[in-house]
Amino acid sequence: EKTSGRAFAAILAISKPVIAVIHGFCIGGGMAIALTADLRIAADDARLAIPAARLGLGYHASGVETLVRLVGPSIAKEIFFSARRFRAEEALARGLVNEVVPKASLETRVRELANGIAANAPLTLRSMKLVARELDAPESKRDVAAMRASIAACFESEDYREGVRAFLEKRNPK
């Protein structure tokens, strides 16, 4: 449990966007890893489940908390209580995944998404990730100074100046 907790924390600490690519079975630990990603793209053949109730496992509170924050308490309870496998479209409808694509185009779609993200300003991406993580924490534990500093760094960057120039010149930023 300590090892997996450290692994999940390491993924959550990555300052760049993390995309989970899901196809086939994504069950238990695989689902826990996918939940730590910022975005989850699933193939239409994906089946997602957390079978802890069927197996008699106690599920770590941080994993339950992650799921509850993602899909809300009622859907999280449905996922845990039923221990059933959800088809990709069901997972999409419940907010477990961001997008479902045909399996044959999964890799192409994820590369397209990743390239689009990578073309954006890295300081803004890093700031968004940090601010979202801090806003997910209880208000009394938020690092407001870190959020302000990350936002200020964006406005002080050459990326921001180039973005404004590109907007005014009606072109894509470089």
Report whether pLDDT(2) > 80: no
Decide: 103 and 46 in contact? Cβ < 8 Å: no
Report whether pLDDT(111) > 90: yes
pTM attached to this predicted model: 0.88
Mean pLDDT over residues 35-42, rounded?
96
Decide: 150 and 126 in contact? Cβ < 8 Å: yes
Decide: 135 and 142 in contact? Cβ < 8 Å: yes
Report whether pLDDT(137) > 90: no
Q: Give the whole-angstrom CA distance, residue 79 versus residue 21.
A: 20
Q: How many percent of the chain have pLDDT more than 90?
A: 79
Return the closest-CA partner of residue 96 out of 129, 48, 27: 48
Q: Mind listing the pLDDT tens digit for each residue in 77-98?
A: 999 999 999 999 999 999 999 9
pLDDT of amino acid 114: 98
Alpha-helix residue ranges (DSSP H) falling in 59-105:
61-71, 73-82, 88-93
Q: Give the whole-angstrom CA distance, residue 80 versus residue 129.
A: 27
pLDDT of amino acid 8: 83
Maximum distance among all alpha carbons in the chain? Answer: 61
Mean pLDDT over residues 129-145, rounded?
93
Decide: 150 and 133 in contact? Cβ < 8 Å: no
Mean pLDDT over residues 51-76, rounded?
90
Quick one: 28 exposed, middle or buried, by C-beta within 10 A (0-12, 13-18, 19+)?
middle
pLDDT of amino acid 60: 80
pLDDT of amino acid 169: 95
Average pLDDT, the chain: 93
Q: What are the tokens at 136? A: 């997910």
Report whether pLDDT(71) > 80: yes
Return the closest-CA partner of residue 161 out of 132, 129, 124, 130: 124
- At 61, the pLDDT band (50, 70, 90 cuts) reads confident
DSSP state of 137: S
CB neighbours of residue 173 within 10 Å:
16
